[in-house]
Amino acid sequence: MNKGVKFITYTAALLSMLIVAQFFSKPLGQLVTGALVNFILISACLVVNVEAGLVVAIVSPFLASMLGIGPKLIELVAAIAVGNSVLVLTYYIIFRWIKRNSVSYPMAIAYGAILKFAALYFGVVKFLLPFLNVGEAAMKAYGATFGITQLFTAFLGGIIAWIIVPTVKRAVKF
């Protein structure tokens, strides 16, 4: 199969899986949904390539918002896309420039989780929310959503990827 066709097919499949995972896991809470989302973002990057990871990272928050399973404020949707992209790029950089060995996954999990958390916490809670007129209750809710929970969900998504991605990579040749 043509590499371009493979890229489009795999990226579309991963994007679809992410949206379906968000839809069905939403009742289970942010920890489960976030871990699944981060796992799929990491999988897109490591199984297909960084471009697929970035497409899924950027497009998925906008689709989720349009489907009613993400925030309605476009500024928050854009911030999520940035946070997702930070996670994908962190994995790409670590796996591209650091030899794949026993420390690659733990290093990517730690740095990816910390950097995504930092991007979302400082980008949304400390920078964006003070400029938006969302009210005190919404400020608290968004503060919880874009706070330390992001660190845990990125960490859990990385652990799931560490377990599953090597097997998928052996089965799927991109």
Q: What is the pLDDT of residues 140-155, one digit of tens each?
A: 999 999 999 999 999 9
173 burial type by CB count under 10 A (0-12 exposed, 13-18 middle, 19+ buried): exposed
With a cut of 80, say whether residue 102 has pLDDT above it.
no
At 133, the pLDDT band (50, 70, 90 cuts) reads confident
Domain of residue 38, CATH code: 1.10.1760.20
At 22, the pLDDT band (50, 70, 90 cuts) reads very high
Q: Which of 143, 159, 125, 167 is nearest to 35 (CA)?
A: 159
SS (H, E, C) the chain: CCHHHHHHHHHHHHHHHHHHHHHHHHHHCHHHHHHHHHHHHHHHHHHHCHHHHHHHHHHHHHHHHHCCCCCCCHHHHHHHHHHHHHHHHHHHHHHHHCCCCCCHHHHHHHHHHHHHHHHHHHHHHHHHHHHCCCCHHHHHHHHHHCCHHHHHHHHHHHHHHHHHHHHHHHHCCC
Domains of the chain: total: 1
Asked if 71 and 128 count as a contact pair (C-beta separation under 8 A), the reply is no
Residue 119 pLDDT: 98
Residue 59 pLDDT: 98
| 47: Cβ contacts below 8 Å, ≥ 6 apart | 10, 165, 168, 169, 172, 174
Residue 100: count of CB within 10 angstroms of its CB: 11
Give the chain's mean pLDDT. 94
At 160, the pLDDT band (50, 70, 90 cuts) reads very high
At 1, the pLDDT band (50, 70, 90 cuts) reads confident
Cα 73 from Cα 142, distance rounded (Å): 11
**Helix axis angle, 30-43 relative to 3-25, nearest 10°?**
170
At 78, the pLDDT band (50, 70, 90 cuts) reads very high
Q: What is the pLDDT of residues 30-52, one digit of tens each?
A: 999 999 999 999 999 999 999 99
Residue 11 pLDDT: 97
Domain around 54:
3-171
pTM of the prediction?
A: 0.94
